[in-house]
Amino acid sequence: MEIAYKLDLEKLEKAALVLKTVAHPIRLAIVELLTERESLSVNEICDLLGGEQSLISHHLINMKLKGVLKSTREGQFMFYSLKIKEITHLMDCIENCTCKM
């Protein structure tokens, strides 16, 4: 007797896009920082990660375009925050992973 599973392909495609978007050490670090703090400026993220602004900005823009982050401008500073708040659960899973890699 076969059990039929109804797959929500749209939901799975969205999940795959989010996973692909954050599948980089710098991007995961950015998500982790934004999990701990409501929002951060590009300069703050660069200082906390010790990275070059051009590289960090590239990752931030990519994640914003894919819908993971949102940004707000305050004067001459751009602040980023999580658009998908549920991504914090993903970070919890990664942190608690006991996989042998």
Q: Which of 7, 37, 31, 6 is nearest to 19 (CA)?
A: 31
User: What is the CB neighbour count within 10 angstroms for residue 80?
Assistant: 25
Which helix (H) or strand (E) segment holds residue 99: the answer is: none
Residue type for 58, please? H
Prediction pTM value: 0.83
CATH of the domain at 70: 1.10.10.10
State the pLDDT at residue 101.
62
User: Could you tell me if residue 29 is inside a domain?
Assistant: yes
Structure-model confidence comparison of residues 54 and 11, the more confident one: 54
User: Could you tell me if residue 36 is inside a domain?
Assistant: yes
Which helix (H) or strand (E) segment holds residue 13: the answer is: helix 9-22
User: Could you tell me if residue 9 is inside a domain?
Assistant: no
User: Could you tell me if residue 82 is inside a domain?
Assistant: yes
* Predicted confidence (pLDDT) per residue in 71-82, tens digit: 999 999 999 999
Range of the domain at 79: 15-96
State the pLDDT at residue 3.
56
User: Could you tell me if residue 51 is inside a domain?
Assistant: yes
User: Could you tell me if residue 73 is inside a domain?
Assistant: yes
What mean pLDDT comes out for the span 77-100?
A: 82
User: Could you tell me if residue 101 is inside a domain?
Assistant: no
State the pLDDT at residue 53.
94
In the chain, the number of structural domains is 1
* Predicted confidence (pLDDT) per residue in 19-73, tens digit: 999 999 999 999 999 999 999 999 999 999 999 999 999 999 999 999 999 999 9
User: Could you tell me if residue 44 is inside a domain?
Assistant: yes
**Confidence band (pLDDT; 50, 70, 90) for 4?**
low
